[in-house]
Amino acid sequence: MDTYEVKEKVLKILDDFGMTGSKAAEAMGVTYATFRNKKNDNAKGHSFNEKNYLDLVKFIKEKAINL
């Protein structure tokens, strides 16, 4: 997956599940500031990567099991 594709998938998940930035940051194992930089592309080199996407999906799956 390229960077743009990963970002679009992450943003879609956040929108579909109504996740806040702080919860998404927790799920990805990054700070909220890092999450914001990745979401807004503020700093060069800061963007969501495939690991962030997979961490987010894993977090959601683990939470769903508890339902």
Evaluate if residue 63 carries a pLDDT over 90: yes
Q: How far apart are CA 35 and CA 25, in angstroms?
A: 6
DSSP type of residue 43: S
Total tally of structural domains belonging to the chain: 1
DSSP type of residue 44: T
Per-residue model confidence (pLDDT) at position 56 = 97
The domain spanning residue 51 has which CATH number? 1.10.260
pTM of the model: 0.86
Evaluate if residue 1 carries a pLDDT over 90: no
Q: What pLDDT digit, counting tens, does each position of 11-62 carry?
A: 999 999 999 999 999 999 999 999 999 998 765 668 899 999 999 999 999 9
Q: What is the per-residue DSSP string for 32-60?
A: HHHHHHHHHT-STT----HHHHHHHHHHH
Per-residue model confidence (pLDDT) at position 48 = 92
Question: What is the domain extent for residue 14?
Answer: 3-65
